Amino acid sequence: MDKRVLTAHVPIDLAQRLDSFAERRDRSRGWVVKQALTSYIDWEEEKDRLTLESLEEAERLGTIPHEEIAAWAESLPTDNPLPPPGPRKE
């Protein structure tokens, strides 16, 4: 596998935490950084995918205006609660 060296300036306290963590895990600093970057990028890519999926669903199904949700929520503890609002395309 091809590799490339990356350099990053980090606060001293973070570098110390990294060193301590790597030592406790009996792993190299590079191994910990590689795991952390992989996890972070996987997490962010999944968030991006879910955001796009949600936007597409909102476009397809419609949305519920905030005012309608707020009015419905405020009506819940009353004697005459409103029916839950449904999505609509605007």
- The band of 88, judged by pLDDT with boundaries at 50, 70 and 90, is confident
For residue range 13-34, list pLDDT tens digits in order. 999 999 999 999 999 999 999 9
Residue 72: which of 64, 58, 63, 82 has the closest Cα?
A: 82
- For residues 22 and 31, the answer to whether their CB atoms sit within 8 Å is yes
pLDDT at 73 over 80: yes
User: How much is the pTM?
Assistant: 0.73
Q: Which residues contact 62 (CB under 8 A, 6 or more apart)?
A: 87, 88, 89, 90
